[in-house]
Amino acid sequence: MASNRISRINEEIQRELSDQFRRLKDPRVSQTGMVSITRVDTTGDLRYARIYVSALDKSQEKEVLKGLKSAAGFLRRELGRSLQLRYTPELQFVADDSIQHGAHILEVLRQVEQQDEARGGAGTETEE
């Protein structure tokens, strides 16, 4: 039951922070294009929340993280006002490369498929 509560809190934190990201005035965050929260992991005691962030422009991802870390206090206060939890977790922002990793896996699968087709479909069913 506690894990269900934590997952609901994670969803609320993700929703609220996504909304707050759009209102941030730090140019490192606001002028980089799309910044997404891919996942939130909160500890059971609600003291810490690890926020996994992905930026559309990977070359600016470090600057985005620096901007978010400098705005962490402001974001935490705003989060505390909106969620009204007993403890507002300390926010830790982490770069998430899962989208890039998934794209890499997809590319490898396409290459394997092309190699199979080049060999004459050796991996396909044979007719009798």
What is 2-96's CATH topology?
GMP Synthetase; Chain A, domain 3 (3.30.300)
The mean pLDDT of 119-127, rounded to a whole number, is 61
- CB 17: neighbour CB atoms within 10 A? 22
- What confidence score (pLDDT) does residue 33 get? 76
Q: What is the DSSP letter of 119?
A: T
Residue with structure tokens 């003291």? 47
pLDDT for 125 beyond 80: no
Q: What percent of the chain has pLDDT over 70?
A: 92
- What confidence score (pLDDT) does residue 102 get? 82
- CB 97: neighbour CB atoms within 10 A? 15
Grouping H, G, I as helix, E, B as strand and the rest as coil, residue 41 is strand
Between CA 43 and CA 38 the distance in angstroms is 17
pLDDT, one tens digit per residue, over 46-102 is 999 999 998 877 788 889 999 999 999 999 999 999 988 888 999 999 998 877 788
The mean pLDDT of 103-111, rounded to a whole number, is 91
Between CA 60 and CA 55 the distance in angstroms is 7
DSSP result, 82-109? HH--SSPPEEEEEE--HHHHHHHHHHHH
